[in-house]
A and B are shown apart, each in its own frame.
Chain A
Amino acid sequence: MIYLQLFFSFLQIGLFSFGGGYAAMPLIQGQIVTAHKWLSMAEFTDLITISQMTPGPIAVNSATFVGIKIAGIPGAIIATAGCILPSCLIVTLIAKFYLKYRNMDVLQGVLATLRPAVVAMIASAGISILVTAFWGNDAVITFIGTNWIMVAIFIVCFILLQKGKLNPIVVMLLAGVMKLAAAMIGA
């Protein structure tokens, strides 16, 4: 039963994530955190962090990570299969038609319409990650409950990325080190 749930959850993630990169993130959050509660928001954030630092698409990484946690290696294989099945069918079909007709304007039109929505959905997922980082897993947003060290780390990282054009992996490692240093000092 759990195998079927894993399979269909990741099937939906594979089927509805357009645009690559972070586009799968809001869908993974919807399925894994919101609908099935297989991961907490903090664990989900760890997963995104790990995905950033290792090769491989976020969706495939998540399928392996969640699959193993919920149902071991067989779970990971089934979740990964679910995640890539839509790609296999749709991409081969499109490639087949394309090699025959060389016309893709509907596909391009759909993608152009989706792009702004994808940006908005990534923003929403990013905000839930930041809420967890600043206010913890219970996410009660109060001024006193704010973890100001995390807010400071976020601002420094954002500036380093935006102005310094630093590599994201380096910035994330730096963020980890800053938090560790703050904890050592006892802040």
Chain B
Amino acid sequence: MRSKKETLLKIFISTLYLSAFTFGGGYVIVTLMKKKFVDEYHWIEEDEMLDLIAIAQSSPGAIAVNGAIVVGYKLAGMTGALTAIIATIIPPFLIISIISVCYNAFRNNFIISQLLEGMQAGVGAVIAAVVYEMAAGIIQGKQFSSIVIMLVSFVATCFFEINVIYVVLICIVIGIIKTIWLRRRAK
């Protein structure tokens, strides 16, 4: 049996490493976590890991942070979760701290400001491509209610500038009612 201290250290180092070198968001990082903790260390069963990833993805907050919490919690309880969170937060915290100091110094530099300005159009294109793909997926799903929710939310947030928190809250309520209704009908 491995000692708790050793487990915590290994959780710390592997989540720190994953967090520091994973570009491309939460979905990528949970896949890498699965590789590390299921395939490499054999600490978690494959099926259970898939469920843990589902929890990380369906809970609010950043998926990378949620993934770190479920894995840490599963392996070493609350201390494990805390260790994993801290390790996950340290790399972006340090990198962004350094960048934000430089940002103020460099933003007025001609070359940097032109690069950043062009990148505004670039990031707009990246978001447009992501939205295009996600929206196409929902439309192809041919679920009438999903398409209505998407259109209504778009009009509400884009044209009426309704706070997104209300949209989220309303959808949560609809989702709960729908699930309970479906469960009753299944009985």
What's the nearest-Cβ distance from chain A to residue B153, in Å?
4
**Given known contacts A46-B103, A105-B179, is B61 in contact with A125 (CB within 8 Å)?**
no
Kindly report which residue of chain B lies nearest to residue A152, judged by CB atoms. Answer: B121
A111 at the interface (CB under 8 A from B): yes
A32 in contact (CB, < 8 A): no
Asked whether any CB of chain B lies closer than 8 Å to the CB of A4, the reply is: no
- Contact partners of B134 in chain A: CB under 8 A: 119, 122
Q: State whether A119 touches B138 (Cβ < 8 A).
A: yes
Q: How far is the CA of A56 from the CA of B6 in the complex (A)?
A: 25
Identify the closest chain B residue to A84 (Cβ): B65
Q: How far is the CB of B121 from chain A (nearest CB, A)?
A: 4
Contact of A88 among B19, B81, B126, B178 (CB under 8 A): B81
Give the interface size class of chain B: 35 or more
Q: Are B114 and A119 in contact (CB under 8 A)?
A: no
Instruction: Classify chain A: how many residues form its interface, as a range.
Output: 35 or more
Residues from chain B with Cβ under 8 Å of A114 in the complex:
168, 171-172, 175
- Decide if A54 touches B95 in the complex (CB within 8 Å): yes
The answer to whether B122 and A20 have CB atoms under 8 Å apart is no
Quick check: is B83 within 8 A (CB to CB) of the other chain? no
Q: Mark B156-187, 1 if CB is under 8 A from A, else 0.
A: 01100101110111011011101110110000
- A73-B97, A183-B110 are known; give 9 further A-B pairs, CB within 8 A: A45-B120, A56-B19, A65-B100, A110-B58, A132-B120, A150-B118, A157-B121, A157-B122, A183-B114
